[in-house]
Amino acid sequence: MKNVTTKNLLTIALATALALPAASFAKSNNDVPNAGQTAGHHKRGGRGGLMNHAAEELGLSPAQKAQMQALRKEFAPQRKALRDNKSLTPAQRKAQTKALNASYEARVNAILTPEQRTKLAAIIAQRRQERRERRQEKRETGQKMAPATR
């Protein structure tokens, strides 16, 4: 990635991680093999996995959890509309996504305490490092990698 600062990466990672709604499943994971797992989300159990784990690691209060859930629901239609808007050029979509992510990050930061923001940044950095290591391992073993999403 060219000219992408750490802050921009954190913004994108934070917005993506927190924007994904938690998946609910009718059957337990023991009843269905690979239940709740989608391609690319094996270890986290599907969409919303990072937020579910981060909420626990961050020690979010019930009020904070409710605020985060409401925030995800508020931003979900905006994200969907942006993804579905075929009239945008890739550059326009990227710019609008960046603006939406910045807005989302500001709202998340308003919900979290300074300590929680620090912990979240560390969690995101750790997950990013784990992804890099998995990609490197796949390159070394010759496994096919999933296409980049950005």
Residues above pLDDT 70, as percent of the chain: 61
What are the domain boundaries of the chain? Answer: 62-132
Q: Tens digits of per-residue pLDDT, 38-80?
A: 444 444 444 555 666 788 889 999 999 999 999 999 999 999 9
CA 117 from centre of chain = 15
Query: In the 8-state DSSP scheme, what is residue 2?
Result: -
pLDDT digits (tens, 9 = 90+) for 17-39: 544 433 333 333 444 444 444 44
pLDDT of the residue at 32: 42
* pTM recorded for the entire structure: 0.58
Least confident of 34-38, 64-68, 94-98, 103-107: 34-38
Residue 10 has pLDDT above 80, yes or no: no
